[in-house]
Structure 1
């Protein structure tokens, strides 16, 4: 345990340059007295580490000295191999870099961990796209990633809900969600960033203009809030339906967790045939019409009347189509 902590002290100083004993103690969950003892041990081991007193003081390594990546536990090595997703890396143009990193990591491991890593890769495979799509192949993904990294503005021609638009964007970050790439970007002069799906970018021109990414912007936190807000406004209406046992099972396969939970919470007792009446959150009449058609005759809409009428018209048209001589 102590050896792992000593390595952590080295890696933290290597990554951050200078840290106080209090900062190191907070990050490692130990007392400052423990940090003092660890520093003495590192000194005794010949590590070129020194400290400075004062308000701007702290511990740091001699400039230019770096430790090799050693001391990985089996679990840590496992997580590194699992984190190297070849598909997304290829899409970003970093497939060769990830492959080289895994090769170097594999070569640096002792034989027992090397065998464990090889076994892990043969037993766990992470495939991010959904079943019915291969992900978002886009010729503009790599240039977008480059603009994110270099903090350069881009001009894009984008296919939005209202048609094609041209925008100048300041890309803050890229997110892979369900096999689809999204760029979180602001428009010059506007405070709040927005989300753009990368494969809807029809043309991209890098601009010779940099931008200042807000220091307080936290991509993971922003994305979590964005997803929460999206889900909150997704279902603005509701429908009352009757579901057969088969329809309820099928609903669990095609609907999201919010819809399934709402149906489970509102479902009344089954009738003699096992059908239940429940309240179904819906996004709009159009979306609900398409989604409920996937349940066929295993669902009956009781309300609203407009949705019931739409399904009645569709069912009548289908019956007429399939009963022609």
Structure 2
């Protein structure tokens, strides 16, 4: 543990040029006394570290000194793809490894390259969850990630949408995907390779059983195919709707992708309204989704969707007489 901390101090001084004892203590989450002892140990080991006195002082390395002790551990190398994604790294339990990997990468760069990397880090930020929702809490995520990394089978109790709601499965996890703040595990199970929402895993039991991952499996390609197939399956019908001029002019502020896409491609009527055909999952789902627009969206068909909206409206009138 101490050797890792000494290396971190060395790399921090190399990348940031000068740091006070307090800044080092805060960065490494240790006491000032620990930092003082560690710096003395570095100096005793021959590292040319010295302290500038005064208000603008701090610890520095002798100008031109560079360490080459930047080799990545196995876990740090695995965490490289999460550099710049602190939320995802924390969810997977790789915060420390990601920070260490990033520090070692910076230390390996020349000063001008390091400055450019620092500018990029401070000018671009990735925030994955969608608006109006928080990232999901997935207590089993770190265990799933460990099984993915080590090709180990896991036994899970899973909650799904259809009956029976709770099922038990033996999964061979191929990979994890983060989409809009939700984690999904792509795994082989009876019936083929499927996706499982990690937050719906109620219980997980690791096993010592390993499995052979298909050599031709590509996670990104599978996920893209899955999304395309998901859209084909979930959109079972169509609806014709008339969008008011006011809503049509502010369509890009609406979180209804199918409606936004259809209105963008349509030619407005003389009064500014737009009549479009949109895919829908079901009558009930479409009624719930379209009702939030009030009289800004008029359903022209199918008749059963108009009936469902009328029923929803009547229920509201009965609730608020």
Match of 2:90, SS state, is helix
Judge conservation of contact 1:81–1:121 (CA < 8 Å) in 2: no
- Asked whether the equivalents of residues 243 and 273 of structure 2 are also in contact (C-alpha less than 8 Å), the reply is yes
> What is the correspondence of 1:239-278 to structure 2 with a 5 Å cutoff?
239-249=239-249, 251-252=251-252, 253-256=254-257, 258-265=258-265, 267=266, 269-272=268-271, 274-278=272-276
Residue 164 of structure 1 corresponds to 166
Q: 1:116 aligns to what?
A: 116
| Root mean square deviation of aligned Cα | 2.4
In the TM superposition, residue 156 of structure 1 has moved relative to its aligned partner by: 0.3
Q: Tell me the distance in 2 between the aligned counterparts of 1:128 and 1:214.
A: 29
| Change in CA separation of 1:295 and 1:309 when aligned onto 2, cut-off 3 Å | same
Q: Which aligned pairs between 1:6-21 and structure 2 lie closer than 5 A?
A: none
Q: Which residue of 1 aligns with 2:277?
A: 279
User: Is the 1:81–1:102 contact (alpha carbons within 8 Å) kept by the matching residues of 2?
Assistant: no
Structure 2 SS opposite 1:193: strand
Q: Is residue 84–residue 126 contact of structure 2 (8 Å, CA) maintained in 1?
A: no
Confirm whether residue 308 of structure 1 aligns to residue 311 of structure 2.
no
The aligned residue for residue 229 of structure 1 is 229
**Is 1:173–1:184's contact at 8 Å kept on the other side of the alignment?**
yes
User: How many correspondences in the alignment?
Assistant: 243
185, 188, 194: which one aligns with 1:186: 188
Counterpart in the other structure of 1:12: none
Partner of 1:142: 142
2:316 is paired with a residue of what secondary structure? Answer: helix
What is the deviation of 1:305? 1.0
Secondary structure of 2:138's counterpart equals: coil
Q: SS state of the match for residue 115, structure 1?
A: helix
In structure 2, distance between residues paired with 1:84 and 1:125: 7
Structure 1 residues 198-223: Cα deviation after superposition (integer angstroms, max 9, x where no partner): 01000000112111111111111111
Gaps of 5+ in 1: 1-66, 71-79
Q: CA 1:196/1:81 → structure 2, altered by over 3 Å: closer, same or farther?
A: closer
Quick check: 1:185–1:196 contact (8 Å CA) kept in 2? yes
Find the aligned partners of 1:200 and 1:242 in 2 and give their Cα distance. Answer: 38
With over 3 angstroms needed to count, the CA separation of the structure-2 counterparts of 1:147 and 1:136, relative to structure 1, is same
Structure 1 pair 218–254 and aligned structure 2 pair: CA distance change class (3 A): same
**SS of residue paired to 1:301:** strand
- Specify the SS of the correspondent of 1:225: helix
Instruction: Report Cα offsets for 1:65-89 as digits up to 9, x if no partner.
Output: xx9989xxxxxxxxx8995311111
User: How much does 1:144 deviate?
Assistant: 0.4
Aligned to 1:205: 205
Aligned partner of 2:31 in structure 1 is none
Query: Distance between the aligned counterparts of 2:200 and 2:290, measured in 1?
Result: 28
How far, CA to CA, are the matches of 1:319 and 1:250 in structure 2?
29
Tell me by how many angstroms 1:311 deviates.
Answer: 1.0
TM-score under structure 1 normalisation? 0.69
State how far apart, in whole Å, the 1-side matches of 2:319 and 2:245 are.
Answer: 28
Name 2:87's counterpart in structure 1: 87
- Verify the 8 A CA contact 1:262 1:281 in the aligned structure 2: no
Pick closer, same or farther for the CA change 1:209–1:82 going to 2, 3 Å. Answer: closer
CA distance in 2, matches of 1:125, 1:164: 38
What corresponds to 1:32 in structure 2? none
Distance 1:316 1:299 in 2: 18
Superposition deviation, residue 271 in structure 1? 4.3
**Aligned-residue offset at 1:269:** 4.1
Distance 2:210 2:181 in 1: 29
Partners of 1:243 and 1:299 within 8 A in 2: yes
Give the secondary-structure state (helix, strand or coil) at the position aligned to 2:202: strand
- Look up the match of 2:126: 126
TM-score of the two chains, using structure 2 as the length reference: 0.69
Q: What is the deviation of 1:298? A: 0.4
In structure 2, list runs of 5 or more residues that go unmatched.
1-67, 72-79
Per-residue deviation, 1:260? 2.8
